[in-house]
Amino acid sequence: MEHIKNDIVVSGMRPTGRLHLGNYFGALRNFVELQNKYKCYFFVADLHALTTAAENTENLAFNSKQMVIDWLAAGLDPEKCSIFVQSHIPEISELTTLLGMITPLGWLLRNPTYKEQLNELFRKKYAGQEDKIAAEKMAMLTEAELSEMSSFGFLGYPVLMATDILIHKAAYVPVGQDQTAHMEIARDTARRFNDIYDTDILVEPKPLFTSIPKVPGLDGRKMSKSYGNTIELGEEPEAVRKKVMSMFTDPNKQKANDPANPDGCTVFAFHKIYNPDFEKRAQECRAGALGCVACKKHLFELMEKEITEFNQRRDFYAKDEALLKKILSRGAEAARESASKTLAEVKKVMKVL
Ligand code: ADP
Ligand code: TRP
């Protein structure tokens, strides 16, 4: 397919569980728009999932498939973009090895995501205990203990991610703001490679953020699998209705006709997404003209049609195993063609025989 712009877009998501509305409004919806303008490569980052779950892989293949089904149901069109699984592109692993040779260890050790994610892993290990206790234990860990919990692959996460992007010479990478540090490493890697080998073959990529960089979860914190506060893509409408009815609202509003503040209210954050008339709703809320129960019911009505239609499209793709296989194999073919060109160029300038 012909694209309006020649620039290349690359992005991936880790198949660590089902996608949720935060992933959809924070990233996936952007993928769907970008496929109409740019040459796009979207992939299931299964190797990245392994960096934290190598001992627990029974759901990896299943989650990878579910992710692709969600992407298709959300509107990614394999005629417009390449959809593939990261591990199907061996060139990525090869280029990761080569780029690893020029990545200073300090960049990886200083990467803020490294410590944050270790913290996350550590909390899982102490699941059931208070976060505070886990955080305290974390703070007391020595460097040596931390390094026992982490792997070579985990520390190298940013090298693999830089490779995903640089291997296609992407100009833009649609991600959430939590990926800023990784994007910086990808840019630094391209620059360092080009400097060392006095070349211009690698392209410095720029992150692209969406207009909704932080979708709140049911409890008002950022929606995230690790907080258990999500609405997943593909959930039954009745389950979503129950979740909407349990969303946090302004705690100062006691009675239905108390005036309240919509800013910071989770239900209102979703009205902003689903309700074209959300400004009117903000006024009604401030004036105490509407109770939270009615406001939640209205929100669910607005969401229901979209959810039902999404689930129908999802069922369609979920049934067609052969179609999924075909999409992923065509995607891998396109990605390998692009990846092998860059890999060959890199080997040439590195003088690898
Ligand atoms: P999770 O926090 O649930 O594990 P991931 O880290 O796998 O989600 O995120 C995948 C993509 O979705 C990333 O680009 C991330 O920035 C984006 N994303 C995740 N949660 C949200 C959210 N609540 N709001 C906006 N974007 C999000
Ligand atoms: N690190 C990203 C995340 O956690 C996933 C990812 C892996 C990615 N490789 C990438 C995103 C390349 C963009 C480009 O969400």
Q: How far apart are CA 295 and CA 297, in angstroms?
A: 6
pLDDT in tens, 281-330: 999 999 999 999 999 999 999 999 999 999 999 999 999 999 999 999 99
pLDDT at 157 over 80: yes
Expressed in angstroms and rounded, the spacing between residue 182 Cα and the centre of ligand 1 is: 14
Nearest CA owner, ligand 1 atom 12: 23
pLDDT of residue 134: 66
DSSP code for 291 = -
Expressed in angstroms and rounded, the spacing between residue 80 Cα and the centre of ligand 1 is: 24
Distance of CA 16 to the CA centre of its chain: 10
pLDDT of residue 139: 67
* Ligand 2 pocket member 233 (CB < 6 A): no
**What atom in ligand 1 is closest to the CA of residue 176?**
16
pLDDT at 223 over 80: yes
* Banded model confidence at residue 265, pLDDT cuts 50, 70, 90: very high
pLDDT in tens, 101-137: 999 999 999 998 887 777 777 766 666 666 666 667 7
pLDDT of residue 320: 96
Mean pLDDT of 338-347: 98
Q: How far apart are CA 21 and CA 71, in angstroms?
A: 12
Testing ligand 2's pocket by substitution, the residue of 9, 10, 13 carrying the most ligand atoms inside 8 A of its CB is 13
- Contact, 33 vs 79, CB < 8 A? no
Instruction: Write down the residue that tokens 């389950």 correspond to.
Output: 239
* Ligand 1 pocket member 213 (CB < 6 A): yes
- Contact, 3 vs 38, CB < 8 A? yes
**What atom in ligand 2 is closest to the CA of residue 14?**
5
- Across the chain, mean pLDDT equals 92
pLDDT of residue 118: 77
pLDDT in tens, 238-247: 999 999 999 9
